[in-house]
Structure 1
Amino acid sequence: MIHLAKRVIRQTLNDKRSIMMILVAPLLILTLIYFLLGDSDYVPTVGVNQGAIPESLTTALEEQDLVIADLTDNEVQQAEKYLNDHQGIDAIMESSQDSGMTITMYEPSSKGAKAVNEIQKAVASLNPSAQFTMKYVYGTQEQSTFDSLGYVFLALFSFFLVFIISGMALVRERSGGTLERLLMTPSKRGEVILGYTAGYGVFAILQALLIVLYSIFVLQLSSAGNIGWILLTMVLLAVTAVSFGATISIFSTSELQVVQMIPFTIIPQVFFSGLIPLDLIPYHLGNLSYIMPIYYGAAAIKGVMVYGNGFMEIWGYLAGLITFAILLFLINTRALKKFRQM
């Protein structure tokens, strides 16, 4: 038993990827969580018509941790339209003797919640028993967490599962000698990569279709837009995941090494998929989302499902996924020659 334990320890110490996953990956992920979920210095912006509310309320709002945007009476009354055109405003507050205090937000979010919290503190300092009515341009206060974040899970599950399957399968193909024999034929490296991508892409597309149809028609996940655009986004995301898995497999010699890359390649993307508003992330770390494929897929799906967007609103995200797929194809084609000497 002792000899076996010593052999395992020696093998692990000689495997740099295992050491990185055991010692470095937890610290990296915890540090990332610290930055993403720690205290944010974000200051919400609240729109009010200062001429229509008591001066004491204006003073109380100014004492809170928020920015006040002075709006006209017409802009406040058409709060939903104004928020749709000016997404830099987190909430609009309207006070009237008939309906009381009304707070309108773009959608349920941590930014809106922070704005409401500051407004409530200001009002409570003047009238602790004041009541509020919450309104949203998109979504409702009563919607479940699954309804509000379902688009994120669609993107994550599709990308992650396809990545695992394609990455491990390609490593197995190479370790079994299939890839080497294939490259001895007149087939070009680009054709080999395209062949594998197309082959696994078929199952990735089937999975994407199944996930979307099951979520919407069985689990009743609401969608404000055309389901066709969701399917197109999921298909592009799945194809990108196949190419991403191929990239990781080329630099791995076993299925274990593919798994070892997950903490460095997949888990960080989870935090930038829409679970956390990017402008709440400190030190401008939200900009890292632009180098992560899942962000583009989740953003496009959210645009369709939550906002009812069409092609003209999501084409940039679709172009991002296509760009990633092309870039990964070029990397994979080049890597076959450079790292495997084929």
Structure 2
Amino acid sequence: MRVRALFIRIFRQFARDRRTLALLIAAPLLVLSLMYLVFNGDTYQPKLGTVELPEALVQRFAAQDAEVFAYSTPEAAEAALQARDIDAYLSLRGGSPVIRLEGSDPARNRAVMLLVSETLASAPSDMAFTSPDTTVSAASAAPITEYLHGGVGMTTFDSLGPVLIGVFAFFFVFLIAGVSFLKERTSGTLERLLATPLRRWEIVAGYILGFGLFTGIQAVLIAGYSIQVLGLMLAGSIWYVLLITLLLSITALSFGTFLSAFANTEFQMIQFIPLVIVPQVFFSGLFDLEAMSPWLRWLAYLMPLKYGADAMRSVMIRGEGWSAIQFNIYILIGLSLLFMAANVLALRKHRKI
């Protein structure tokens, strides 16, 4: 009887908590659906540029399910490579093929190299690269490999590391800030503050500054440890890395405190993780967005992590500066201000002042 009574109590508790019950059913289905859409997308098609190659060879590349772009000069191909319009371009130098890779994504590098090697190996014996001094059969030609960014020693961790820094910074700040702000509310501290002459925006600003100090420390620790201890590639300025990590943390802080207004317990706050964090991980850049279905890619532009990860890769892998990351920086600042304003409005449900 006692076991039966306990069973009935737990059953009624779940039955009354409709949000927990809905999440228990919907969250696994949502995550599985996202995984299906992400991993079951289209096969990535390498984007290859060509410079003054035989037309027959260009057609063979196009027949291999690759996007081929013909350029009249190496300078035009180099500009397209720097703009990331193509993954690599193939040209001739002294009668030998030279493949120049954009280099920031090892998976795309491998896809391009596989495409080039298979296409050249299957070329007819009469197809050749010619120059004033030499004639080399395409089938026997060994391409010279060059990199715009990265290099032969670049690892998968170097490529994914900038994204992982953003993911961990965002996740832990979101969770800790949300739970901490929730405790302030459930303990009565926030209610007492709302009874003082302090305005809602002043309360939000004070909490953001207070938590922000520790998120800044966390940003320095995560970035410094990843680069100095783990040896993560850093081609640009460490100060830009710290700035991006800090802005991601502030965005997560303001977002977490906002969502905590809709939770009554720490468990309910944790329930937001599969709905908020997991989708952002899928669209942050850990998985190639161009391999997803086109109608699904637009979701990435709703995710703060996408902007932070793009900026981190631009600095850490490509060594780019302010002009390349300023748009992402402004987006993160705008999202932080938006969530802060939403947090001010959310405080109205507790008490009007």
**Could you state the TM-score of these two structures normalised by the residue count of structure 2?**
0.86
For 1:3 and 1:254, the matched residues in 2 are separated by 24
For 1:186 and 1:30, the matched residues in 2 are separated by 48
Equivalence for 2:135: none
For 1:2 and 1:115, the matched residues in 2 are separated by 63
Confirm or deny that 1:19 pairs with 2:21.
yes
Confirm or deny that 1:219 pairs with 2:233.
no
Equivalence for 1:49: 51
CA drift of 1:320 comes to 0.7
Structure 1 residues 173 and 226, CA gap change in structure 2 (3 angstroms): same
Confirm or deny that 1:297 pairs with 2:308.
yes
CA drift of 1:21 comes to 2.8
Structure 1 residues 311 and 59, CA gap change in structure 2 (3 angstroms): closer
Structure 1 residues 90 and 11, CA gap change in structure 2 (3 angstroms): same
Secondary structure of 2:98 counterpart: strand
For 1:120 and 1:21, the matched residues in 2 are separated by 49
Q: Of the candidates 117, 122, 142, which is equivalent to residue 120 of structure 1? A: 117
Equivalence for 2:85: 88
CA drift of 1:129 comes to 6.9
Equivalence for 2:11: 9
Matches within 5 A, 1:174-253: 174-253=185-264
Equivalence for 2:102: 106
Equivalence for 1:150: 161
Aligned residues: 335
Structure 1 residues 133 and 16, CA gap change in structure 2 (3 angstroms): farther
Structure 1 residues 96 and 304, CA gap change in structure 2 (3 angstroms): closer
Equivalence for 1:62: 62
Structure 1 residues 203 and 280, CA gap change in structure 2 (3 angstroms): same
CA drift of 1:79 comes to 5.5
CA drift of 1:208 comes to 0.6
For 2:22 and 2:154, the matched residues in 1 are separated by 41
CA drift of 1:41 comes to 5.4
Indicate if the aligned counterparts of 2:51 and 2:92 stay in contact, CA closer than 8 A. no
Structure 1 residues 185 and 115, CA gap change in structure 2 (3 angstroms): same
Equivalence for 1:36: 38
Indicate if the aligned counterparts of 1:65 and 1:118 stay in contact, CA closer than 8 A. no
Indicate if the aligned counterparts of 1:152 and 1:298 stay in contact, CA closer than 8 A. yes
Which string of whole-angstrom CA distances, capped at 9 and with x for unpartnered residues, describes residues 249-273 of structure 1? Answer: 1110010011001100111111121
For 2:10 and 2:156, the matched residues in 1 are separated by 44
CA drift of 1:305 comes to 0.9
For 1:79 and 1:137, the matched residues in 2 are separated by 12
For 1:185 and 1:103, the matched residues in 2 are separated by 68
Secondary structure of 1:266 counterpart: helix
User: Counterpart amino acid of 1:84?
Assistant: Q
CA drift of 1:123 comes to 2.5
Matches within 5 A, 1:244-323: 244-323=255-334
CA drift of 1:177 comes to 0.9
Secondary structure of 1:309 counterpart: coil
For 1:291 and 1:62, the matched residues in 2 are separated by 34
Q: Aligned Cα RMSD in Å? A: 2.4
For 2:347 and 2:255, the matched residues in 1 are separated by 14
Unaligned stretches of 5+ residues in structure 1: none
Equivalence for 2:74: 75
Indicate if the aligned counterparts of 1:108 and 1:141 stay in contact, CA closer than 8 A. no
Structure 1 residues 228 and 173, CA gap change in structure 2 (3 angstroms): same
Indicate if the aligned counterparts of 1:80 and 1:106 stay in contact, CA closer than 8 A. no
CA drift of 1:56 comes to 4.9
Indicate if the aligned counterparts of 2:98 and 2:144 stay in contact, CA closer than 8 A. yes
For 2:295 and 2:13, the matched residues in 1 are separated by 40
Indicate if the aligned counterparts of 2:219 and 2:242 stay in contact, CA closer than 8 A. yes
For 2:155 and 2:44, the matched residues in 1 are separated by 25
Unaligned stretches of 5+ residues in structure 2: 125-138
For 1:235 and 1:67, the matched residues in 2 are separated by 38
